[in-house]
């Protein structure tokens, strides 16, 4: 597609444009499940190094092994066309990994916040994070079996969301369902920029 | 009875630390954050002069050269090598300093010039 920007290297190799989308939400909300359902490759993991409390500690020589751990992040890929790829990154659930969120969120197109209606408040920190940084997001209400069915208006009220933030029901295990959430996100991003994507 | 093969012993290493510490010995204790470049979705491409068989390169460097004969993003390289991203960034930095790779940092979302990209994403997703 000519309208899509890509780099042409000297040798004529086309370098695709990669867009980052974050999959966030509380512990056990279905982040890993959603990334796996959507990814065209086996879901991959990448690890980041945690050097004690320090986010930006660059030189860790001399640090004792035991105080050094890594945190795994799930990621998956969706190829839109030869010039355009989406990368989905599941955010680490625990608060002490906030500094990793900054790295993940840098330049991200937007985020999906998965909400588990049995523990709605677990996704408050994710919502706060994206609101504070002005990163567009949608809320995917993950329909776990046995969870009481809430209507979306109730969820929206409980989460105290801005009226323009889309709230969508989803099943994180289902590719089609996850796909609709991503489409909802990209359309939301387009609207935020005042460039709505026409409904096909 | 066969003696157990001698294990390398460092008093600052234990079994739990082993797999974590090894990459540091690889990089001399350096890690890099994304602030130094090499975004998770920056594409890396080996230059024409890069040779995966170069005996001057460490095995992990060679592996990176091998993998990047086509453009591959940093996150995928880390997954492929099974090394932490902070370590892979150091190794890539070494290769960059030798002029063996090119780095294509991604556009940040806010600098995407037009909405054609978003349209392409939506229609691509619909077609999945
Ligand atoms: N019924 C139902 N179960 C789900 C759904 N999504 C996830 N699960 C299950 O819920 C459990 C947790 O899902 P994960 O994808 O591991 O959640 P996570 O957000 O990655 O969890 P952490 O990484 O530990 O924070 C798994 O056993 C999933 O199979 C869903 O939409 N419906
Ligand atoms: Mg998970």
Which CATH number do you get for residue A110? 3.40.50.300
Tell me the pLDDT band of A99, cut-offs 50, 70 and 90: confident
Q: Is residue A198 part of a domain?
A: no
Whether B79 is covered by a domain: the verdict is: yes
Per-residue three-class SS string for A26-70:
CCCCCHHHHHHHHCCCCCEEEEEEEECCECCCCECCCCCHHHEEE
* Ligand 1 atom closest to residue A34's alpha carbon, by position in its atom list: 15
Cβ distance of A58 and B119 shorter than 8 Å = no
Residue B2 domain flag: no
The domain tally of chain B equals 1
Query: Which residues in chain A have their CB less than 8 angstroms from residue B50's CB?
Result: none
Lookup: tokens for B64: 């990176």
- Please check whether residue A44 lies inside any domain of the structure: yes
Minimum-distance ligand 1 atom for the alpha carbon of A93: 25
Q: In total, how many domains does chain A have?
A: 1
Residue A199 is assigned to a structural domain of this protein: no
Q: Give the Cα separation of B42 and B88 in Å (integer).
A: 12
CB atoms < 10 A from the CB of A40, how many?
11
ipTM of the complex: 0.80
| Residue A33 included in any domain | yes
Query: How many Å lie between the alpha carbon of A140 and the closest alpha carbon of chain B?
Result: 17
Judge contact between A48 and A89, C-beta under 8 A.
Answer: no
Cβ < 6 A, ligand 1 pocket: A 25, 27-33, 93, 142-145, 171-173
Residue B7 has pLDDT above 50, yes or no: no
Q: In what order do the strands lie in the sheet with B43-46?
A: B72-73, B43-46, B101-104
C-alpha distances (whole Å) from A51 to each of A67, A90, B55 are 7, 21, 32
Q: What whole-number distance in Å separates Cα of residue B28 and Cα of residue A170?
A: 46
**Which of A:36-55 have CB within 8 Å of B?**
44-49, 51, 55
Residue scoring higher pLDDT (A148 or B76) = B76
Does B72 fall in a domain? yes
Residue B6 lies in a domain: no
B65-92 residue pLDDT tens: 999 999 999 999 999 998 888 889 999 9
Q: Report yes or no on A35 lying in a domain.
A: yes
Distance of alpha carbon A52 from alpha carbon A166, whole angstroms: 37
For residue A15, how far is the Cα from the chain centroid?
Answer: 23
Residue A3 lies in a domain: no
Whether B3 is in a domain gets the answer no
Nearest CA-CA distance, residue A68 and chain B, Å:
7
Nearest ligand, measured from the Cα of A178: 1
Q: How far is the CA of A33 from the centre of ligand 1 (A)?
A: 6
- Domain limits for position A97: 17-192
Angle at B28 between CA B27 and CA B32, to 5 degrees: 55
Using one digit for the tens of pLDDT, what is the confidence trace for A46-56?
A: 777 765 444 34
Among the partner-chain residues A18, A66, A197, the one whose CB lies closest to the CB of B73 is: A18
Q: Which domain holds residue B122?
A: 19-127
CATH number of B92's domain: 1.10.10
């Amino acid at each position: 597609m000519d309208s899509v920007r890509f780099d042409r290297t000297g040798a004529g190799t086309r370098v695709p444009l990669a867009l980052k989308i974050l999959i966030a939400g509380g512990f056990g909300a279905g982040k890993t499940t959603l990334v796996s359902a959507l990814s065209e490759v086996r879901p991959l993991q990448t690890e980041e190094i945690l050097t004690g409390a320090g986010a930006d500690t660059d030189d860790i020589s001399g640090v004792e092994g035991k105080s050094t751990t890594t945190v795994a992040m799930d990621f998956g890929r969706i190829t839109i066309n030869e010039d355009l790829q989406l990368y989905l990154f599941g955010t680490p659930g625990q608060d002490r990994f906030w500094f990793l969120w900054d790295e993940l969120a840098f330049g991200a197109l937007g985020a999906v916040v998965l909400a588990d209606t049995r523990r709605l408040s677990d996704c408050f920190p994710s919502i706060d994070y994206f609101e504070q940084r002005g990163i567009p997001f949608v809320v995917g209400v993950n329909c776990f079996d046995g969870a009481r069915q809430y209507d979306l208006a109730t969820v929206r009220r409980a989460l105290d969301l801005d009226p323009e933030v889309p709230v969508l029901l989803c099943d994180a295990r289902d590719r089609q369902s996850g796909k609709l959430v991503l489409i909802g996100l990209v359309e939301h991003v387009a609207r935020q920029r005042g460039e709505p994507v026409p409904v096909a | 009875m066969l003696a157990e093969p001698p294990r390398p012993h460092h008093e600052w290493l234990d079994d739990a630390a082993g797999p974590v510490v090894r990459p540091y010995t690889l990089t001399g204790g350096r890690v890099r954050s994304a602030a130094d470049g090499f975004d998770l979705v920056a594409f890396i491409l080996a230059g024409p002069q890069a040779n995966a068989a170069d005996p001057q390169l460490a095995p992990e460097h060679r592996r990176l050269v091998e993998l990047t004969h086509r453009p591959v993003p940093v996150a995928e390289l880390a997954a492929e090598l099974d090394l932490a991203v902070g370590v892979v960034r150091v190794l890539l930095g070494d290769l960059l300093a030798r002029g063996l790779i090119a780095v294509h940092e991604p556009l940040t979302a806010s600098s995407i010039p037009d909405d054609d990209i978003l349209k392409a994403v939506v229609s691509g997703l619909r077609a999945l």
